Amino acid sequence: MENKVFKIALAGNPNCGKTTIFNRLTGTRQHVGNYPGVTVERKTGFCRIGDFRAEIIDLPGIYSLASSSPEEKVAFQELLNDEIDLILNVIDAGNAQRNMYLTTQLTELDIPMLLAFNMIDDAEKQGLVFDFGKLEQFFGAPIVTTVGSSGQGIDELKNAIAEIRNNPSPQRPVKPKYGPKTDQAIRSLTAGIAALNLPETRRIPARYFAIKVLEDDPEICARPDLEPFRREAEQWRRQIAARNGINSRTLMADVRYGVIAGACREAITISNDRRRQLSDVIDKYVTNRFLGVPIFLVMMYLVFQFTFTLGQFPMDYLEAFFGWLGESVTAVWPAGEAEFLRKLIVDGIIGGVGGVLVFLPNILFLFLAIAILEGTGYMARAAFVMDGFMHMFGLHGKSFIPMLIGFGCSVPAVLATRTIDNESDRRTTIMVVPFISCGARLPIYSMLIPAFFALKYQALVMWILYLIGIIVALGCALVLKSTIFKGEGEVFVMELPPYRLPTLRSILILMWEKTSLYLQKAGTLILLASIILFVISTFPEKSNFSQDYDAAISAVQDSTLTESEKNAAVSRLEAQRKGEALEYSIAGRIGRGLETVMKPIGFDWKVSSALIGAFAAKELFVAQLGILYSVDDPEAEEGTLRQVLQESYTPLQGFCIMLFCLLTVPCIATMAVVRRESNSWRFMFGQILLFTVIAYTITLIVFQTGSILKIGTTISEPAESTVAVETSGNGLAG
C-alpha cells in the first residue's frame, strides 16, 4: 500500500484555473500527449505529498459528463477505466454556481472528492462570502480555497489530499431528487444494471449508469452489455415526458441547477453591491463589432514587432555560434581525409540543423507573446470577435479555434476540427486551415525578412504574410461553402473569462512545451532530412568541370595580386566549381527540371530544389538552402546565409519565396492527418491541387506585377568580391 501511487483526477470547467493548479502541484514533472484517436490533450504529472507519491491526471476542461464532446468522452473514460483514488474538482470561486453543475455529476460517481475553490481572491473582490461548512455538507466533500496564480492554498490542498488518503472516510453527498416518476425509473434501471455485476459497478454505482441510460447518453448506450435497458429507458422517458411536459434529460438538468441554486442561496452571499468589473469596461472596446477586428490585427502586429525586435540579437549570436562550430570542425579535421564525412557534418548537419535552430529565439518570443495573450484572457475575446467576422465567409464560429491552433502547427489544427459537429463546416475548415501561417514557416520568414527588409519594416512584412494567409483561407472558405460544401451553419457559444495577469510560471511552462516540440523536430525529422538533402545535393559527384579549377586557383595564388585580390579570385573560382557540382547533383537536376515552371514566379533552380525538402517539413527549406549555399572556405567574405541570399536575390523574389511557402502544399504530416480525418484520398489530393494552384497563381501575379512596376527588383549592393562570386555562381530568375 505504501508503494502504491495515489491517483488523482483533476476535473473542472474551462478557464477555472485547473491547469495552473496542475502546474503548481507537478512543476516540471509532466508528460503531455494526446488521447488515442482524438486531438484532446492528455497531461499527467507526479508530485510528492508527505510520505507518498501522487500521480495527477489533468482531465480536459469540461462543463458536464454528458459525452457530447470529445473532451467529455475522454474525461468520463478516464474516470471509468483508471483506478482513480480521488477527484480534485477545481471550481472558479467567482462563478461557483455555474461550475458546480459538473460537481453534482461527479458526486454521483461515489469516488472520493476534494473541492478546490480557486481564484478566491477574485471572488472576494466581487464581494462574495462563502459558508464553506454548508457547502461541504451538501457535497459531502472537504473544500480548500486556493489562488493558483500565486500558489496560495497549495500547501493546504496537499494536506487535504494527504488527510483523505491516510484517513479515508465515506463521503455522503446530497443526491438530487428528480421527481417521483424519474426517481422510480432510476431505481428500476439501477436494479437491472446492478444484477449484471459489471466490473465498473464495483467502483462506480450502478445508479450512475442508470442515470446515463435514462439521459440517453450516446457513450453509455452504445455499450452492448447495456443494450437490454435501452428499450426500458425509452418507455420511462415517454412516461416522464408525458408527466412533466419535458424530456428526462432536460428535467434532470433543471433539477441539478435547482439544487445548486438552492445551495448557493444558503451558502453564498454578497457583502456589497458588485462593482462593474474592469474586464467589462475593456470588453466594451475589445469585443466591439466595429473595433474588435482592427484591435485584433493591431495586437498581432505588436506580437510580430515584439518577436523580431527581441529575437534579432540572440539569433545573431546563434548564427555566429554555428558558423564558428563549422569552421572549428573544418580546422581540426585532417586535410584530405574522409572529406565526404567532413562535409556531411559541416554542411549537412551543422548547416542544415543549425540553420533551423538559429531561429529558436524567434520561436521562443512568438510563443511568449501568445502565452501572455492567452493568460490574460484576450485570446478568448479574439475568438469571440472573429466568430461574427467568420460567419460572413460561411465558416462556423468553432472554426476559429482550429485556425488559432494553426498559428502553432497545422497538424493539431486539423485534428481540432473534430469539435465541429456540422460535416460541411468541418470539411471546409480542414480544407482551408493549412493556409494559416504555422510555426514551421516562421524560420523561413526569420531568414528572409531580415535579409531583404529594413528593421522598421520587418514586423509589417511578417504581419502582411500572416494576414494574406488568413484572407486566402477565408476567401477559399466562402467559395467552398457556396459550392462544394453547402450547408447550414450552427450557433457558437464561447465563454469570456475575466482578464487576469498571467503568472511567469505558467508562461514559462507553455513556452517550454511548444519549444521542446520544435527542438525534438530539429533533432529527429529535420536531422534525418538534412542528411538526405545533403546526399542528394552531393551525388552524383561531378568529375569533368568547365575548367581546371585547381590549376586556376594555383595560378591565382602564384600571381602578383595583392592578398585581398587573391582571396576574392579564389572565392570566385570556388563558388563557380561548387555551383557546377550542385547543378550536376540529384537536387540540382530536380531544381533545373522545375526551373522552367518556377522561373515566371521568380525562382531559380536552387530555390526550386529547396522546395522539395519543404514538403517533408517547412523548416527544411531553410536547411536545404543552407546546404546549397554552404561555403567551404571559412575565410570567404560571403558571411551568413542571409547575406548570401541578400546578394543573390531581389527583395521582390524574397517576398515571393515567402508567399509561395505560405500558400503552397502543407507538410507531409499535415496531409497524412487530412487523409485520416477526411477518410478520403480524393479530398487530400484535391487539397494538394487547390494549394498548388492558388500558391502559384497568387505568387505569379505578385512577381510579374512587381517586376513590371519595378518594386523591389534591385539586389542589395554587396562587397566587390562578393558580387563577383555570386554573379558567376548563381543564375538569377526573372
Confidence of residue 502 (pLDDT cuts 50, 70, 90): confident
Q: Assess whether 160 and 186 both reside in one domain.
A: no
Confidence of residue 217 (pLDDT cuts 50, 70, 90): confident
What mean pLDDT value characterizes the chain? 81
By residue count, the chain amounts to 734
Q: Assess whether 261 and 313 both reside in one domain.
A: no
Q: Assess whether 609 and 710 both reside in one domain.
A: yes
Closest to 155 in 3D by CA, of 43, 163, 123: 163
Taking the mean position of all CA atoms in its chain, how far away is CA 650? 33
Domain boundary (132, 166, 200) is at 166
Whether the per-residue pLDDT at 399 is higher than 60: the answer is yes
Q: Assess whether 495 and 603 both reside in one domain.
A: no
Closest to 595 in 3D by CA, of 505, 455, 427, 730: 730
- Domain containing residue 135: CATH number: 3.40.50.300
- The answer to whether the bond into 199 is cis (omega within 30° of 0) is no
| Contact assessment for residue 239 and residue 107, using Cβ atoms and an 8 Å cutoff | no
Q: Which residues pair with 613 in a beta bridge?
A: none
What is the model's pLDDT at position 421? 64
Q: Which spans in 57-203 are helix H?
A: 70-81, 96-107, 120-125, 132-139, 154-166, 180-196
279: in domain: no
- Percent of all residues in the chain with a pLDDT value above 70, rounded to a whole number: 84
Whether the per-residue pLDDT at 179 is higher than 80: the answer is no
| Contact assessment for residue 667 and residue 615, using Cβ atoms and an 8 Å cutoff | yes
Burial class (CB in 10 A: 0-12, 13-18, 19+), 679: exposed
Q: How far is CA 177 from CA 182, 185, 379, 703, in A?
A: 9, 12, 40, 71
pLDDT tens per residue, range 15-28: 888 888 998 998 86
Whether the per-residue pLDDT at 584 is higher than 50: the answer is yes
262: in domain: yes
141: in domain: yes
pLDDT tens per residue, range 618-643: 877 876 777 667 533 333 333 467 77
Domain boundary (240, 270, 300) is at 270
More confident residue, 495 or 17: 17
- Domain containing residue 193: CATH number: 1.10.287.1770
Burial class (CB in 10 A: 0-12, 13-18, 19+), 557: exposed
290-294, 346-350, 726-730: least confidently modelled range: 726-730
Q: Assess whether 226 and 322 both reside in one domain.
A: no
| Contact assessment for residue 630 and residue 346, using Cβ atoms and an 8 Å cutoff | yes
Q: Assess whether 265 and 385 both reside in one domain.
A: no
566: in domain: yes
* Pairwise CA distance, residues 438 & 646, whole Å: 24
Neighbours of 670 (CB within 10 A): 24
| Contact assessment for residue 613 and residue 604, using Cβ atoms and an 8 Å cutoff | no
Q: Assess whether 264 and 312 both reside in one domain.
A: no
Residue-wise DSSP of 502-531: --HHHHHHHHHHHHHHHHHHHHTHHHHHHH
Q: Assess whether 239 and 324 both reside in one domain.
A: no
What is the model's pLDDT at position 404? 74
pTM greater than 0.85 (yes/no): no
Whether the per-residue pLDDT at 274 is higher than 70: the answer is no
How large is the angle between the packed helices 620-628 and 641-648, nearest 10 degrees?
A: 80
* Pairwise CA distance, residues 650 & 711, whole Å: 10
| Rg of the chain in Å (alpha carbons) | 31
285: in domain: no
What is the model's pLDDT at position 218? 80
Nine cell digits for residue 68: 457530447
3 state SS of 141:
coil
Confidence of residue 31 (pLDDT cuts 50, 70, 90): low
Q: How far is CA 110 from CA 176, 244, 484, in A?
A: 14, 28, 49
Q: How many structural domains is the chain composed of?
A: 4
Q: Please, which residues have CB within 8 angstroms of residue 221's CB and are 6 or more apart in sequence?
A: 212, 213, 230, 233
Which domain does 338 fall in, by range?
Answer: 292-348+358-504
66: in domain: yes
Q: Assess whether 41 and 157 both reside in one domain.
A: yes
531: in domain: no
Nine cell digits for residue 475: 476567401
Name the DSSP letter for residue 270: E
Q: Assess whether 388 and 418 both reside in one domain.
A: yes
Q: What φ, ψ does residue 454 adopt, rounded to 5°? A: -65, 155
522: in domain: no
Instruction: Compute the average pLDDT of residues 61-80.
Output: 81
More confident residue, 269 or 653: 653
Q: Assess whether 553 and 588 both reside in one domain.
A: yes
Taking the mean position of all CA atoms in its chain, how far away is CA 452? 29
Residue type, 103: T
* Pairwise CA distance, residues 330 & 59, whole Å: 52
Confidence of residue 120 (pLDDT cuts 50, 70, 90): very high
Describe the strand order of the beta sheet including 41-49 as a list of residue ranges: 30-34, 41-49, 52-58, 6-12, 86-92, 113-118, 143-145
Q: Assess whether 625 and 481 both reside in one domain.
A: no
Instruction: Compute the average pLDDT of residues 435-443.
Output: 86
Q: Please, which residues have CB within 8 angstroms of residue 286's CB and are 6 or more apart in sequence?
A: 292, 295, 378, 381, 385
Domain boundary (206, 236, 270) is at 270
